[in-house]
Amino acid sequence: MSALLELTFVLLALASCRGLQDSGIDEEPELVFQPSKFGSLWPLPQKVQISEVSFKLSPSNFQISDAKESRSGSSCSLLQLAYRRYYDYMFEGVKKVDRSARADPTELLELQVWITSPDTECDSYPTVSSDESYELSVDQPVAVLKAPKVWGALHGLETFSQLVYEDEYGAKSINYTTISDFPRFAHRGVLLDTSRHFLPIKVILANLETMAMNKFNVFHWHIVDDPSFPYLSKTFPELSRKGAYHPYTHVYTPADVKMVIEFARLRGIRVVSEFDTPGHTQSWGKGQPNLLTPCYSGSKPSGTFGPVNPILNTTYDFMRKFFKEVSSVFPDSYIHLGGDEVDFTCWKSNPDIQKFMEQQGFGKDYSKLESFYIQRLLDIVTTTNKGYIIWQEVFDNGVKLKPDTVVHVWIGSGTNSEMSNVTAAGYTTILSAPWYLDYISTGQDWQKYYKVEPLSFNGTEEQKKLVIGGEACLWGEYVDATNLTPRLWPRASAVAERLWSAKEVTDIGDAYSRLSVHRCRLVERGIPAEPLSPSFCPHEYKGI
C-alpha cells in the first residue's frame, strides 16, 4: 500500500466522524486506518512475523512450483490449478515483460510448495478432520510453503498472495516473513439459501471463490425450502418439475451440483447439503402427492397442507429412496437434516393425526409426534452411512440422537445457555445464532460479528471442545444474484477471522485496518464487496 493511500485513509476516517454520528451509531469507537504490522493478512495467522526487509516480484521472473522434495509429484491438478489462480490474482493487469530481461538480484523468484505427508489428499474431499495447517517462509531468492496436506497448501497460497503489495511506484513487493498457521475451529461455514430466491451457478461459484479468500471451508447449501425446490432429483424428477420456480431455468441439474462440489473441493471447501423436513416443505408437496399433511377446517380438508405427514408408511418409503440418492450425490460425510420451526397447527386439525396421537399415547404433545418422525428419519439416514447435522429444536425436543450428531444453534443472539445445554449433553455443536447476516443495518455491523466469542458460554473444558465452529447465514428472503455478494462480503469476513484466528485476536482497530485493505483486495479480484466506511480503493470495482 502506498504512503499516499495510507494518508488518504486517515484523512477520510477523520472526515467520516460526522457521518457516523448522523447515522446514529456514535456509540461505536471511531476507527482510524493505521497500517497494521500484520499488513493486510485476513484472517490473521496463528503466528506471523513480517520484517521490514522487502523484495520485488515480477510477473516475468516469478513462479510457483512444486518443491523437489514434495510428495505431491507434479500430477496434482488441484495444486497446479491453484498455482495458476494465485499467480493471476497477484499479477492481474500487470504487463509481462520480456522473459529474457534479467532479474533484479534482490528479486523473489519462486514460491516452492512442499507437501510433506505421503498421503497428500490431492484427489480426496476435505473433511471436518482435514489437516489445514501450513508453514510459510518468505526469503530471497526462494519462498517455501510447507504443508502436510494440500488443504494447508491452499490456505498458504492465499496467505502468500495476501503478503504481496504494491510499493509507492506500483511495483509488486513482499517482505521477509515467517508464518506458522492452522485454524482455531474445524468447521467454518457460509449458509446460502437457494429456495427463497434461485441463485445462478455463477453466483454460487463466485461465493465459493470468495470463501476461499477468507479460509472458510464449508458451504452449507440450504438448497430447498417452502418457496421452491430447485434440486433436480434423478429418483423423483417431479419434485423440481412441479416445485421449482421454473422446471428448466430455475433448477440445479446433477451436472450443476457436480460442478459446485468439484469447484468447492479444488478450494478446500466441503459442500454440506440441507434438505430440511418435516417443516419448510411446501414446495416438496407439489411434485410428491400425499407427502404433506392435509389440513382440516372443521371436519373437511381445507385444501391446504402442513408439514410432512408423519403417520404414513409411504412417507418413510419416499424418504428412504430420496436420501439414498442425496447421500450418493453429495460426497460429504454429513447431511444437514433441518428440523427447525415445525408448525403444529395443521397436524392438530387433522383427525387421522389425532387418532394416531391417541394410539401412540402422545396425548396432546405434538413435539412427541415431531420426534417420532425425526427419529425414523435419522434411522433412515444412518443406513446411508452419513452423519447428520440438525437445527437445535431437534435436540430441544428430546429426540434420541447418535453420539456423533452435530447440533446447529441458531436461536437467540450471542452465545447462550443453549450452547451450555447442547455441549453438556455431549453433542458436537456449531454456532450461527450471532451470525445471521441477512439482518442488515447501517454502519459497521461487522464489528458485532467480530466481537463474538464462541466459547463464552458456561461450561467445562470438555464442553468447549465440542464446539467445532460456526456458520455465517445469509437467508434468501431479500437476497438474489443482484445483491448477494455485497451483502455477504466483507461482513462474513469478520466471522471468518473469528473462526480461524487465535482467541486473543480481538483488537478491533487492527482488524479494521487489515479488513479495509482485505476488502480492497476482494474488489481488485473482481468481487463487489461493500465498503466499510468512507474511503477508496487503489483499484476500484469496475462493474460487471
Q: Which residues bind ligand NAG (CB under 6 A)?
A: 37, 39, 50, 52, 54, 175, 313, 416-418, 421, 457-458
Residue 7, exposed/middle/buried by CB under 10 A (0-12, 13-18, 19+)?
A: exposed
Quote the least distance from Cβ 210 to ligand NAG, whole Å: 23
User: Among candidates 513, 540, 536, which has minimal Cα distance to 524?
Assistant: 540
Phi-psi region of 303 (alpha: psi -120 to 50; beta: other; left: phi over 0): left
Closer by beta carbon to ligand NAG, 180 or else 253: 180
Residue pair 137/126 in contact by the 8 Å Cβ criterion = no
Catalytic-labelled residue, pool 69, 92, 341, 540: 341
CA angle 449, 455, 458 (to 5 degrees): 125
CB of 58 to ligand NAG, least distance (A): 17
- 332, burial (CB in 10 Å: exposed 0-12, middle 13-18, buried 19+): buried
333 class by beta-carbon count within 10 Å (0-12 exposed, 13-18 middle, 19+ buried): middle
404 phi, psi to nearest 5 deg:
-95, 15
| CB < 8 Å & 24+ apart, contacts of 76-83 | 76/115, 76/120, 76/122, 76/123, 76/150, 77/122, 78/122, 78/123, 78/150, 78/154, 78/265, 78/266, 79/113, 79/115, 79/122, 79/150, 79/153, 81/266, 82/153, 82/154, 82/157, 82/266, 83/113, 83/157
- Between 67 and 466, whose beta carbon lies closer to ligand NAG? 466
Measured from the CB of residue 37, what is the shortest distance to ligand NAG in angstroms?
6
Check: CB of residue 435 under 8 Å from CB of residue 413. Answer: no
State in angstroms the smallest separation of the CB of 443 from ligand NAG.
26
Nearer to ligand NAG, 194 or 421 (CB): 421
State the nearest-atom distance from the C-beta of 145 to ligand NAG, in Å: 19
> CB of residue 168 vs ligand NAG: minimum separation in angstroms?
10
Spatial neighbors of 331 by CB under 8 A, at least 6 apart, are 125, 261
CB 322 within 8 A of CB 233: yes
Nearer to ligand NAG, 52 or 98 (CB): 52
Q: How many CB atoms lie within 10 A of CB 84?
A: 11
What is the per-residue DSSP string for 449-518? HHT--TT-SS--HHHHHTEEEEEEEE-STT-STTTHHHHHTTHHHHHHHHHHS-TT---HHHHHHHHHHH
DSSP run (H or E) holding 270: strand 270-274
289 vs 242: CA distance, rounded Å: 11
In the complex, least distance from residue 185 CB atom to ligand NAG, rounded to whole angstroms: 19
> Which amino acid, one-letter code, is at 45?
P
Smallest distance, ligand NAG to C-beta of residue 326, A: 23
Nearest CB to ligand NAG, comparing residues 221 and 356: 356
Question: In whole angstroms, how close is the CB of 336 to ligand NAG at the nearest point?
Answer: 21
Residue closer to ligand NAG, measured from CB, 249 or 458: 458
Compute the distance between CA of residue 153 and CA of residue 134 in angstroms, rounded to an integer.
6
341 is catalytic: yes
Q: Residue 133 in contact with residue 182, Cβ under 8 Å?
A: yes
Smaller CB distance to ligand NAG: residue 313 or 385? 313
Residue 118 burial (CB count, 10 A): 7
Nearer to ligand NAG, 171 or 203 (CB): 171
Task: Cite the active site residues.
Answer: 341
